[in-house]
Amino acid sequence: MFKQLTQAQLDPILSLSIAYREDRRADKMDLGIGVYRNSQGETPIMQAVQQAQQYLLATQTTKAYVGLAGNEVFNQSMMNLLLSGTSAHSRAAAVQTPGASGALRMLADLMCLAQPDTTVWLTNPSYVNHKPVMEAAGLTVKYYPYFDYATKQVNSDAMLAELAKAGPKDVVLLHGCCHNPTGADISFADWQAVTALANKNGFLPFVDIAYQGFGDGLEQDAAGLKYMADNIEEMIVATSCSKNFGLYRERTGAAIVISDSLQEAQKAKGRILQLARSTYTMPPDHGAAVVATILTDDDLTAVWKQELVEMHGRLLSLRAGLTKAIRAQGSDSFDFIEKHKGMFSVTGLSPEQIERLRKEFAIYAVGDGRVNIAGLQEQQIDYLANALLTVSQ
Ligand code: PMP
CATH of the domain spanning 2-44+300-392: 3.90.1150.10
Give me the residue spans of the domains in the chain: 2-44+300-392, 65-296
Decide whether any atom of ligand 1 lies within 6 Å of the 245 Cβ.
Answer: no
Choice from 101, 120, 128, 146 to test ligand 1 binding pocket (greatest atom count within 8 A of CB): 101
What's the half-sphere exposure (Cβ side, CA atoms, 13 Å) at 204?
22
Looking at residue 33, its pLDDT comes to 86
Ligand 1, atom 4, residue with closest C-alpha? 210
Q: Which one-letter DSSP state was computed for residue 227? A: H
- Kindly give the distance from the C-alpha atom of residue 340 to the centroid of ligand 1, in angstroms, as a whole number: 18
First to last CA, the chain: 52
Q: Which one-letter DSSP state was computed for residue 242? A: T
Looking at residue 367, its pLDDT comes to 85
Residue 176 exposed, middle or buried by CB count within 10 Å (0-12, 13-18, 19+): buried
Q: What is the ipTM of this complex?
A: 0.99
Which value, to the nearest 10 degrees, does the dihedral of the CA atoms of residues 50, 56, 62, 63 take? -30
Give the ligand 1 atom nearest the CA of 34.
Answer: 8
pLDDT in tens, the chain (393 residues): 999 999 998 887 888 889 999 999 998 999 998 999 999 999 999 999 999 999 999 999 999 999 999 999 999 999 999 999 999 999 999 999 999 999 999 999 999 999 999 999 999 999 999 999 999 999 999 999 999 999 999 999 999 999 999 999 999 999 999 999 999 999 999 999 999 999 999 999 999 999 999 999 999 999 999 999 999 999 999 999 999 999 999 999 999 999 999 999 999 999 999 999 999 999 999 999 999 999 999 999 999 999 999 999 999 999 999 999 999 999 999 999 999 999 999 999 999 999 999 999 999 998 889 999 999 999 999 999 999 999 998
Decide whether any atom of ligand 1 lies within 6 Å of the 208 Cβ.
Answer: yes
Q: Name the CATH code of domain 65-296 (choices 3.40.640.10, 3.40.50.300, 3.90.420.10, 3.30.390.30).
A: 3.40.640.10
Looking at 68-203, which runs of residues are DSSP E strands?
92-98, 119-124, 140-145, 147-148, 153-154, 170-175
The Cβ of residue 254 has, within 10 Å, a number of other Cβ atoms equal to: 31
Ligand 1, atom 10, residue with closest C-alpha? 100
Decide whether any atom of ligand 1 lies within 6 Å of the 240 Cβ.
Answer: yes
For 343-376, b/e burial (b = at least 16 CB within 10 A) is: bbbbbbbeeebbebbbeebbbbbbbbbbbbbbbb
Looking at residue 288, its pLDDT comes to 98
Domains 2-44+300-392 and 65-296 share a fold: no
What's the half-sphere exposure (Cβ side, CA atoms, 13 Å) at 186?
26
